[in-house]
Chain A
């Protein structure tokens, strides 16, 4: 299955990855090639087969509601690109 340019643009928007005009054809070819591989799945009869999202048949463990974390803002913000007054700064958010 080959993938249209329009679709690549939509994927780029959804995944917030800028794709240059010069590489869009190459990206499209690579993605089409992978889709061709995974399209083999379409031929399989999976009627009545349960989807498996986890290798182990375990269930979720529950944590007691007790505070176990201390304030480490300094340490975390030491690796942040831009902070001020304890806040992470980003270009203005428009709602």
Chain B
């Protein structure tokens, strides 16, 4: 898409659900997928007289994020109430941070497809609570919504970037980098399909070469990179078309439906909102000591950059492979276990990025939900590496593992897939086939050099057929050539 004469300015607000066991202000579980309202306690339901107490782990996770992006840490932060009525916000306000966020300015470096790098500035990141969910579909009475408050009170950090991105590619690279950072340091499970990371995209356009920012719109709650890309493209086009037709961009909140590909203005936010932020009187200033910061820094898990460098150094992976595998914490962990088991890191990397990634993608699964475990994949790669099975057999074994038939060795055994590499047995097999096909042998002998090569394939086919596909093809090839040569 080209819109000559216009440039795009993009900023992101990213909601990251923290991987705590309990809510930010209550001891109720945050586990995903429970039956409606079974994980909403009195505090989460805003029952009268209930009060919040802050989760230490949520504070520590937020500080860890700050350390990971080299940001200023708010040693004294505070909570405000953001007041608005909505059924999924049970208190009638969201407890959040405004004046004194826990994470101040920081930086995230992104790498683009052409190898260029770019710095995206982080304005701040703050702690806040998630809302519940309004369910509109299902079999409720007509005109009714159902409210599930299990998610209400799940701890979030909201990461607010500066408007430093100028196209969808950069925005997605930034989003992926954040995903990589938060999953690497273990503060978020990164499960996008469960809403563990949600992106609000602020988009504006301006004539190329100008510096003044145009009016921006905010498209809320995108939970996949694909939807982000589509939403940005649609919004940029809409804004340019509108301005070129003499219209004016209205500052508004928008929604993008990735399934129907329809973007629209959000009706409920249309009325002038006045959130009346003020310091939450039920919570006191949050102090993070220098000792705590030092300890969290000391124990900070490996960051993506360091891990990628290590994968190149330790496993001999290419820059590209290390970049792909090393940026995703779950994939990196999977790789390390599988590589250890297989003894062949490069082949393991190929299988993870190839067969496994393709299968996961096709079923919309993340690697942590892979039906084939890292140990299983490592076991499979080990059998390929020691020539027990051919590449073709490996695919069958992989299918078996995906279907839950057990380890590679169990499947090889059960399906009788073991490759025959015993040279004595192979030699006998070759001799038997040549004896049984004297006409083909005669034809081979009488052919010229060039044609002989082509005719080798015929013998190969017969031999593989005789071995039920289990003969090691490289070895068979070698023995066959030798035997035929002897006949010449």
B28 lies within 8 A of A67 (CB):
yes
Q: Are B21 and A67 in contact (CB under 8 A)?
A: yes
Interface residue? A41 (CB, 8 A) = no
With A63-B27, A66-B21, A73-B37 known to touch, is A84 a contact of B146 (CB < 8 Å)? yes
Residue of chain A at shortest CB distance from B221: A95
Judge if B439 is at the interface, Cβ distance under 8 Å. no
Question: Which B residues are CB-close (under 8 A) to A76?
Answer: 37, 40, 42, 45, 47
CB-CB nearest in chain A for B79 = A60
- 0/1 interface trace, chain B 59-86, chain A, CB 8 Å (1 if under): 1000000000000000000000001011
CB pair B27–A67 under 8 Å, yes or no, is yes
Interface with B: A21-29, A30-38, A42-50, A85-93, which one? A85-93
Q: Does B458 contact A (CB under 8 A)?
A: no
A33–B87 Cα gap in the complex (Å)?
34
How far is the CB of A86 from the nearest CB of chain B, in Å? 4
Whether A87 and B45, one on each chain, are in contact in the complex, defined by CB atoms closer than 8 angstroms, is no
Say yes or no: A62 contacts B144, CB within 8 Å: no
Which of A65, A66, A89, A95: most chain B Cβ within 10 A?
Answer: A65
Task: Report yes or no: A63 in contact with B144, Cβ–Cβ below 8 A.
Answer: no
- Please tell me if A77 contacts chain B, counting CB pairs below 8 Å: yes
Interface footprint category on A: 20 to 34
- Find out whether the CB atom of B27 lies under 8 angstroms from the CB atom of A68: yes
Which B262-302 residues sit within 8 Å CB-CB of chain A? 266-268, 271, 274, 276, 279, 281, 283-287
Complex Cα spacing A54 to B39, Å? 32
Whether A71 touches B38, Cβ cut-off 8 Å, given contacts A14-B274, A65-B58, A89-B144, is: yes
Residues of B within 8 A of A13 (CB): 271
Pair A72/B41 contact, Cβ less than 8 Å:
yes
Contact with B along A49-79 (1 / 0, CB 8 A): 0000110001111111111110111001100
Residues from chain B with Cβ under 8 Å of A65 in the complex: 20-22, 55-58
Residues of A with C-beta under 8 A to B224: none
Q: How large is the interface on B (under 10, 10 to 19, 20 to 34, 35 or more residues)?
A: 35 or more
Q: How far is it, in angstroms, between the C-alpha of A71 and the C-alpha of B39 when the chains are bound?
A: 6
- With beta carbons under 8 angstroms apart, the residue of A59, A64, A88, A90 that contacts B285 is A59
B145 touches A67 (CB 8 A): no
Given known A53-B279, A68-B22, A85-B146, contact A62–B36 (CB-CB < 8 A): no
Report whether B146 and A87 are in contact in the complex, using a CB–CB cutoff of 8 Å: yes
Residue of A nearest to B84 (CB): A14
- B residues 21-59 near A (Cβ < 8 Å) are 21-22, 26-29, 35-42, 45, 47, 53-59
B189 to chain A, nearest CB (A): 15
A18 within 8 A of B: no
Query: Is B134's beta carbon under 8 Å from chain A?
Result: yes
Let me know if B283 and A60 touch, CB within 8 A: yes
Cross-chain contact A86 with B53 (CB below 8 angstroms)? no
Picked from A86, A93, A94, the residue with its CB within 8 Å of the CB of B37 is: A86
**B interface residue numbers (CB < 8 A to A):** 20-22, 26-29, 35-42, 45, 47, 53-59, 83, 85-88, 134-136, 140-141, 143-149, 255, 266-268, 271, 274, 276, 279, 281, 283-287
The interface of chain A, by Cβ under 8 A from chain B, is: 13-14, 16, 53-54, 58-69, 71-73, 76-77, 84-95
Task: Rank and list the top 4 A-B pairs by shortest CB-CB distance, nearest first.
Answer: A68-B27, A87-B146, A65-B57, A62-B56
Known contacts A54-B284, A59-B287, then 4 further A-B pairs from the complex at CB < 8 Å, ordered by chain A residue: A59-B286, A71-B38, A73-B37, A76-B45
30 contacts between A and B (CB under 8 A): A53-B279, A60-B54, A61-B54, A62-B286, A64-B56, A65-B20, A65-B55, A65-B56, A65-B57, A65-B58, A66-B21, A66-B22, A67-B22, A67-B28, A68-B22, A71-B38, A72-B41, A77-B37, A84-B146, A86-B35, A87-B135, A88-B146, A88-B149, A89-B146, A89-B147, A90-B87, A91-B144, A92-B136, A92-B144, A93-B88
